[in-house]
Structure 1
């Protein structure tokens, strides 16, 4: 539990059960002479779904265009994110004569005798691989953790923001963004700027005239970054174990080998997700350090522990810039954003700020 994949798997299981019930009511019971409910069971329905999922492949047919086909034995080919080998259709027989098509495996390189040939299932995270195919990889360049954020209905600018999002073709309730070990999407920052912008940030302008791809104010940038930290922390609190506990479990070869294969895969998945979340927090805190200081009640405060004096020598506060542009009298607060599995626990940056100010 704790991993987004847990909720995705429960959702998929419920969806499959509802689909089976719909088929049973609309077809099996309507045509009992053709479909014996005693034979067409839910277990058989799940088996059929697994067969379809594991053997289906999109083929570029020369005669009918792209089509979805069941390819027996395709599930025997293991996945590698680094492989460029793929399955596709090709004409069989004599060129320009035969119209018969067959499935072919196109290799990305020469293989030695008895060497395993891998194919690529696509750019999938470990969560996707575990949910759809039952395994996770030790090294996966496409591994990620999805976080979800949405527009709060308590937002005083809710109507304006919803109209803006509707025009942009993006829902207001919940949008998912993938976090990876070495980066987070700039689209997440842009979206949080919109969610967290307040009337004071707008001045005399309106939301539809603002470019959220660029920083709007120092105060808003702090709210965006501290919100990202809070979201990651809220996800981390949902896991029943810490990274250190998972590392000890994996290091204990006797105990770890006693787990089932599925359990071992789940442990590896959750530790990789927690590392991504922790690395994101670290990266965002470093971004906070690059922001200028703020002034609260005549006290100079930095958002993540750096002294104000060091800021005087930073290039971000060059002599060509007005210092007032980078000084904000409002303490940044995390609000107006909903995260999946979120709680009210203050962020690391917020706790540090309170310790410095004695709150």
Structure 2
């Protein structure tokens, strides 16, 4: 935008100025009103409120733009008391930015069709977005495009230092894979972008990362294109984890375990029959509080619960772990009821049952998932007895007190050993987060105000970004460095949540053992 994204460093500065509101948001809401976007209920004639380019805003009846510094930044708040299930925003199909909507550009349409057989729908949408950005003010979506974030914290944007700050091998692998896929997608699409005569800065991998992160973090599901759509104003809603429906898989309480400790073994000879309906479904879900409605030819959003005037209105995108939120959206939750901690397991444990590997994890409270508990109970059972106790195990019952004590002691020690191998402790991570917050709050401050030990991860960060200037009394952070600081903070927050789940598992197991031995 502004001469084809002008240079991304400049755009980041503009984004900072526009991030919390200002004239850019006013222009966006005025443009949206002209596009038929509205938070008014449709009238009997089918009109949805303001439709003139001179209308001051598309919002004001149900919603308004506000800033929530501790809950997602810029978002939408209730302009009045809202009822659960009430239609609160409607975005006409003509306002959605999709691959199809950009086909009015004949050259773009021709080139897209030529490459459709070899590029994915998501790659196509990334190219369309960059094409619209390249048009600058000539783009129909210019007021929307200029308000998009100029940088993202998705895993594909992490540097090597930030990736390794995650510390856990699985998380590092996911991050490196995200970057590899992004580079592969970019290389495959370069020839198409060259045919479209993209400006040099729009052909770079950096531009591709920005556009693909925009698609990953902001698109909503539509039935006719698996890539989804960019939905002006509708993508201002912040995320709410679907914790209302969350229920820990392992429902056994300590009291229930204690009451079962003296029950005899069930030597059932029935063959194990796994009900596929009970298998965990880990497929990604899109937005759950809205959707495209053919009858209205619009994307419609509904209140997920009752809201009081002034409250932030949130939408649920689906159930995501913190690592998935980082990968696709560039943020995480301090308290995520859907988070999971995957730990390295012996091959015999994974092979002892038919549960898929991604169902074997620790839950936010530290308790093992139902599948992991079953797998451990089977693994700790002599091979010749596994068939006879399988039905009992898969019904959620203990095999025996001895079996349960064995697996709880093993799991506790295993989690303790994993924690011991990680580079930093929970206490050290908390200290680092406090120091990072000081740096973010005071980007230009005396070095004496920030207590930086001579040998620690903070010093490694300084060295990685050329901030170890001897003889200076001030710590100066550029906007680019602050972005890296924010991503490093996210990496520490993720690993801290992971470690806390392992710590909780140790406490959980020790408590179970204590109750069983009472």
* TM-based fold match above 0.5: yes
Aligned twin of 1:2: 167
Q: 1:12 to 1:238 in 2, by over 3 A?
A: farther
Aligned twin of 1:122: 318
Q: Please give the root-mean-square deviation of Cα atoms over the aligned residues, in Å.
A: 3.9
| 1:82-102 Cα shifts (integer Å, max 9, x gaps) | 6998221224xxxxxxx5611
Aligned twin of 1:54: 217
Any idea what SS the aligned residue of 1:228 has?
helix
Q: 1:182, CA displacement in angstroms?
A: 5.7
Aligned twin of 1:191: 375
Equivalent residue in structure 1 for 2:180, among 14, 21, 27:
14
* 8 Å contact kept, 2:362–2:505: no
Any idea what SS the aligned residue of 1:108 has?
coil
Equivalent residue in structure 2 for 1:248, among 416, 427, 431:
431
* 8 Å contact kept, 2:194–2:203: no
Q: 1:196, CA displacement in angstroms?
A: 3.7
Aligned partners of 1:233, 1:245: CA distance in 2, in Å? 17
Aligned partners of 1:121, 1:244: CA distance in 2, in Å? 32
1:150-161 mapped onto 2 (5 Å cutoff): 150-152=346-348
Q: 1:114, CA displacement in angstroms?
A: 6.2
Length, aligned pairs only = 261
Q: 1:263, CA displacement in angstroms?
A: 2.3
Q: 1:49, CA displacement in angstroms?
A: 2.5
TM-score by structure 1 length? 0.59
Q: 1:41, CA displacement in angstroms?
A: 4.7
Aligned partners of 1:192, 1:18: CA distance in 2, in Å? 39
Any idea what SS the aligned residue of 1:58 has?
strand
Aligned twin of 1:323: none
Aligned twin of 2:418: 235
Aligned partners of 1:113, 1:218: CA distance in 2, in Å? 54
Q: 1:37, CA displacement in angstroms?
A: 12
The alignment status of 1:225 with 2:408, answered yes or no, reads: yes
Decide which moves more: 236-245 or 178-187: 178-187
Q: 1:70, CA displacement in angstroms?
A: 0.5
Aligned twin of 1:88: 291
Aligned twin of 1:147: 343
Aligned twin of 1:327: none
| 1:249-290 Cα shifts (integer Å, max 9, x gaps) | 344553574662222233222222222211110110111123
Equivalent residue in structure 1 for 2:489, among 264, 272, 283:
264
* 8 Å contact kept, 1:145–1:178: yes
Any idea what SS the aligned residue of 2:292 has?
strand
TM-score by structure 2 length? 0.43
| 1:54-97 Cα shifts (integer Å, max 9, x gaps) | 232234x6xx7x96631323432211226998221224xxxxxx
* 8 Å contact kept, 2:419–2:499: yes
* 8 Å contact kept, 1:148–1:176: no
